Structure 1
Amino acid sequence: MSDHKQKLLTAMAALGLGAQPQSWIDGALVDGTGDAITLVDPYTEEELFSYPDAGAPLAIAACEASQRAQRGWAKGISAAARGQVMQDISRAVLSHVEDLATVEAIVAGKPIRDCRIEVAKVAEMFAYYGGWADKLHGEVIPVPSGHLNYTMREPLGVVFQITPWNAPVFTGGWQIAPAIATGNGVVIKPSELTPLTTVALVKLAEEAGLPRGLVNVLCGLGPTTGQTATQHPAVRKVIFVGSPETGRHVATAAAAALKPAVLELGGKSANIVFGDANLEHACLGAQAAIFSGAGQSCVAGSRLLVHKSVYDELIEMLATGMNNIKLGDPLDEATEIGPMSNARQFTHVNTMIGQAQSDGASVLSRDDRPTQGYFVPPTVLRNLSNSATAAQTEIFGPVVAAIPFEDEAQAIALANDTQFGLAGAVWTADVGRAHRMADAVRAGTFWINSYKAIHVSSPFGGSLNSGFGRSSGMDGLMEYTSAKSVWLDSAPTPRIAFGYVS
């Protein structure tokens, strides 16, 4: 047994997990019933586990358990009490940062220092939304009649959430916290490749006071486990974070069952640098935008648009800087970039680099990658047209297409010449230009002289192939509620009207 696996099993035991991935159903760890799923350590390439797909029976049990528990959670206790439980969950997460981060680093291949930050942010998510629990007020509407008309925000019931392999514990907290703050039950299916931290998170939440069965975790596959949960009559909404290709299937399945969906999908975000920018800051921002997390981020700045006057200078700075980034063991405190999370993604990224070369790009990369693991070194694609496959398709790796532009108008045209609409950024000393770019570039999130600043209090989401609906902030909270309009006739003699009141 490798040192990685031994440390993984030790951390799992400390979190109260079994010796292999299991679903969490109605307050207990449960083995699946379906076909075997294999997990491989992306750094050592060692097989970690072979575990059974949860399957339809567990999906049905999870939905039924959430439905039973949700009634008491929404109506049986006060909103303030719900908020207090969520504050207790936040503290429980903070008390297990190291074990959660260790599991995440080994299974997902992410540097442990990044994992610690993400676990701490999960605690912050529960604290933030716990504060919202008793502050969801309705409105009084001055309708043109003698009625008192007011609105109430009600929970949907049970929601089904599907989260990805690139940030499982982060997206788990990102989705669960607003759902339970508003009184909903949750069935969540993390990626079958990275299920462990989500199970541990929900187990910790129950130990901190969350009602048994309110949140259930399914460790399994989309076409079997996920499809069953989507179709279950208890589920009132489907939330998906992942690729556009899978998102289409999820949205189609939800629509067939007449259920709304929130899709948080991919991006091909433009990171725009003008000639008047502080190039040192812009270079550091560009590195963080695409190389952190090995580029496995939906908001990665995967298209670097640079004014022609500083294009060569900035690319030289970027190439020099990326040679100083440490690639290595995710458990090494010094590691800045770990391996790709899985073999399939490793193959995809290398295929896209080869396609870019075929399309005329010159490739700037490092030769000193580790000899083991699914490593792709930081890579810059020069002389690539914005219409090329590698400039239009989400690569989801540490690969950036560097494209020059002539002026502001061309920068905007290039930035919007994509089927995505998730994020973007501009680097400039011109305040007026900064605001013009923020207004003109199609993006749900846009940064000025910064990149990847994200917080639970701010709405997040995109348009077109980047999905629809919003996560986080008050906007994300509202995705888990429905508005009820209540009319009270206050006239001494009630008047029965047909149609609109007047």
Structure 2
Amino acid sequence: MTTHHTSSAETAQAAVNSSLGGRIGSFVDGAIVTGSGATVDLVVAATGERFASYGDAGADGADAVLESARRGAATWGALDAFERAAILRRVSAAVESHIEELAFLESATTGKTLRDARAEATKVVEMFGYYAGWADKLMGETIPVPGNWHTYTERVPYGVVVAVTPWNAPLFTAGWNSAAPLAAGNAIVLKPSEFTPLSTVRLAQIAHEAGLPDGVFNVAVGLGATVGSAVTTDERVGKVSFIGSVPTGRRVGVATAQVGIPTVLELGGKSANIVFADANLERAADGAISAVFSGAGQSCVAGSRLLVQRDVHEEFIALVSEKAAKLRIGDPLDPTTEIGPIITRPQYDTVRSLIERGIGDGARRVTSDTLPAAVTGAALAGGNWVLPTLLDGVTPSNTLETTEVFGPVVGADVFDTEEEAIARANATRFGLAGAVWTENVSRAHYVARAVRAGTFWVNSYKTIHVAVPFGGFGDSGQGRSSGPGFVDEYTQPKAVWVPTQATGAPFPSLSY
């Protein structure tokens, strides 16, 4: 696919035409179905231009998607596990053959940099390949019990699984939340953000073309208040997975609990990145840059709290500031761009407001606030541009200490002892991720164990793999994504009792 160097409404529309035939709607029974509800505009984040509109699927559209998934679950669940595994391997190969197309569609329509979009499309290939390997390995257990019984368990799929995915990484999270449920024998309904539905629909098309039967991979496109609410609380749904903000996640959790639907929640974070004086400062500074500025900071695991030991605090802050100033901000479709725009205008406004509040609470801005010429010209002036921002002196009472910004903003402060750093890292209701930088092996293990986080890195940051469990504590959610156990999240154990005594009373004298 040709790479364009000017992000524009025309470029985004061309991507929609090329990948989706110009149609935007839900993916139901192997076809795109346009909605007739309220109009939703799609906007190029780098320019502020509207490039397309679509109709909300509404309650009727949600019902059609769920009915399709109900039929698809019966078909898919009845297949031999080895056949499901073979189909998922074909899906992985098909996605691999469309990496460039998917990356271009994602970048052109969301504002994510082309380099990030390409990397995330590659991860989707990995996800389907990995879980294809688990599809035929879901085994039960034989359990010895008193009496003449052969007792065993088997893993049973839920049937229809709904996954609500966010706007910051729509393609990545679509793969992440569909491969494992499909491997377990479920049909999937993805409900992407209304701002960024396109790559999810295209992924569903590719999966269907690779051999997934009708109704097995569905996408419900529309607003959270209409489509999202309808697909997460319907009696046809066996389980819900939600990735997003804490307030919305809580509402989803309450709504699903009221109708008895189990839910996996992957929510926000306010992760501490701890740098000790004995660390390799050059490497730690590169890690700090990657931890919070990649993806324009629109990441739940962003290392947005930078805690630096006093002896090297000034030196390290200067080093991070120097490196941040060299990051290339600009057109997401330019392969050399490292920082793209904030994907949605409301989030841009939130990020700008939180920066000002942080400064008002006493923090000092270390990095520049002057946008470069690359984004102030006529072509990109209307975009959601926020420069990589480092604020020092973010004390425990500062707004930025506890509030997730979800933008390229890091608040730094000083500490003296291990105990102080650990206490500071744990002084939050979040518990998603964190990191420590030190050459002391004992300290690294001690801090890693003491910090309350679902994922913790030593002398690195943001490394993830589909084979490793991912999730958080506290306000960061419940349940785990990825890893072998993620397949178990989408099955239920079923116990089977078979009497082995040919005559006599096979039943116990007590019953539950």
SS of equivalent residue, structure 1 residue 128? helix
**Residue of 50, 58, 70 corresponding to 1:55:** 58
Match of 1:453 in 2: 463
Match runs of 1:467-482 below 5 Å: 467-482=477-492
- Percent identity over the alignment is 50
Residue 226 (str. 1) matches residue 237 (str. 2): no
- Superposition deviation, residue 387 in structure 1: 3.1
Whole-angstrom distance in 2 between the partners of 1:64 and 1:71: 11
Equivalent residue letter for 1:14: S
* Cα distance in 2, alignment partners of residues 3 and 151 from structure 1: 54
Opposite residue 379 of structure 1, the aligned amino acid is T
| Deviation at residue 7 of structure 1 after TM alignment | 3.0
Match of 2:16 among 9, 12, 17: 12
TM-score, length-normalised on structure 1? Answer: 0.97
Q: Name the CA distance, whole Å, in 1 between partners of 2:126 and 2:112.
A: 20
Partner of 1:435 in structure 2? 445
Secondary structure of residue in 2 paired with 1:235: coil
Cα distance change of structure 1 residues 306 and 65 upon mapping to structure 2, 3 Å threshold: same
Shift of 1:485: 1.2
Per-residue CA deviations over 1:213-250 (Å, capped at 9, x if unaligned) read 11111110111111111222110111100000110111
| Residue 26 (structure 2) aligns with | 23
> Aligned to 2:238, what secondary structure does the other structure show?
strand
1:194-216 per-residue CA deviation (whole Å, 9 max, x = no partner) reads 00000000001000000011111
| Kept in 2: contact 1:8–1:102 (CA 8 A) | no
- Structure 2 residue identity aligned to 1:395: V
Deviations 1:387-444 (A, max 9, x none): 3211101000110010111100011100000010100111111111111111110000
CA RMSD of aligned residues (A): 1.3
**Cα distance between partner residues in 1 of 2:105 and 2:432:** 29
1:12-411 pair list within 5 angstroms: 12-15=16-19, 17-75=20-78, 77-366=79-368, 367-369=370-372, 370-371=375-376, 372=381, 373-411=383-421
Using the TM superposition, give the Cα deviation of residue 4 of structure 1 relative to its aligned residue in structure 2, in angstroms. 2.9
Q: CA deviation at 1:494?
A: 4.1
Structure 1 portions without partners, runs of 5+ = none
3-state DSSP of counterpart to 2:178 = helix
Deviation of 1:3 (Å): 5.8
- Report the secondary structure of 1:262's partner residue: strand
Aligned residues: 498
**Partner secondary structure for residue 446 of structure 2:** helix
Per the alignment, residue 3 of structure 2 pairs with: none
Q: Is the CA contact (8 Å cut-off) linking 1:231 and 1:257 kept in structure 2? A: yes
Cα separation, 2, equivalents of 1:147 and 1:203: 47
User: 2:432: which partner in 1?
Assistant: 422
How many angstroms does 1:386 deviate by? 2.2
Stretch moving more, 362-371 or 130-139: 362-371
Q: Could you tell me which amino acid in structure 2 is paired with residue 474 of structure 1?
A: P
Distance 1:272 1:145, change over 3 A: farther
Contact in 1 for aligned 2:7/2:331 (Cα 8 Å): no
Counterpart Cα distance in 1 of 2:169 and 2:505 = 57
Contact 2:42–2:53 under 8 Å retained in 1? yes
Deviation per CA, 1:341-381: give whole Å up to 9, x if none.
01111100000000001100001222234222111101111
Q: CA deviation at 1:500?
A: 7.2
Q: Any conservation in 1 of the 2:130–2:466 contact (CA below 8 Å)?
A: yes
Q: Distance in 2 between matches of 1:21 and 1:304?
A: 42
Report how far residue 499 of structure 1 moved.
Answer: 3.8
Q: Do 2:9 and 2:50's aligned partners in 1 also have CA atoms closer than 8 Å?
A: no
Deviations 1:444-470 (A, max 9, x none): 001111100101111100111101011
Contact conserved, 1:426 with 1:447, CA < 8 A, in 2?
yes
Query: Do the aligned partners of residues 151 and 329 (structure 1) sit closer, same or farther apart at CA in structure 2, a change above 3 Å counting?
Result: same
CA 1:498–1:306 in structure 2 vs 1: closer, same or farther (change >3 Å)?
farther
Residue aligning to 1:497: 508
